[in-house]
Amino acid sequence: MTVGAGAGLLPPIALLHFYFYSDSIGDKPVQILSSPDTQRAEDQNQQELSISDRPAHKDKYPFIEEFSEFISSVSIESLKYKLMTQQQRSIAEAFWAAENYGGDSRKCEKRLEEIYGKDWYTVTKLSDHMAELREYYEYVLILEHQRQWENSKNALT
């Protein structure tokens, strides 16, 4: 998907798409980033992210499962202040805010009231509409892990 194309406007921006696959250790969905590809069939996407492709993921990024399990088990304070740089925290928080009403729960509540009425809380929960910030911290750390492996591979060649 592109945004911003038109006369006198900024050049188009390609928005990124997110896909999920199941983490075999914790049986939780893990978010991965992918570029837009509108020509793929749904079964091809399923094959790309299937468990049968796990050996390919392990070869490309060794210890990714162990790293994913580790970061999911540490406290959020350890994630933020021991494992992440300020820049990584800022990136994670920017992703989170971009996808979660600017990070403002009041905006989310207002939108839920527009959709469900004044008694929206009897129909749904705020947590169903705003993701946890921790997911984004973990996501950025996994991206950093992959980047480090890519850099080490490039250094060897």
User: Where do the structural domains in the chain lie, given as residue ranges?
Assistant: 1-57, 61-157
- pTM attached to this predicted model: 0.59
In this predicted structure, what is the pLDDT of residue 152?
85
Contact (CB, 8 A) for 133 and 96: yes
In this predicted structure, what is the pLDDT of residue 9?
56
| DSSP three-state, residue 75 | coil
Hunting for tokens 């592109």 — which residue is that?
2
Extract the residue ranges of the chain whose pLDDT is less than 70.
1-59
Phi, psi of 34 (to 5 degrees): -140, 150
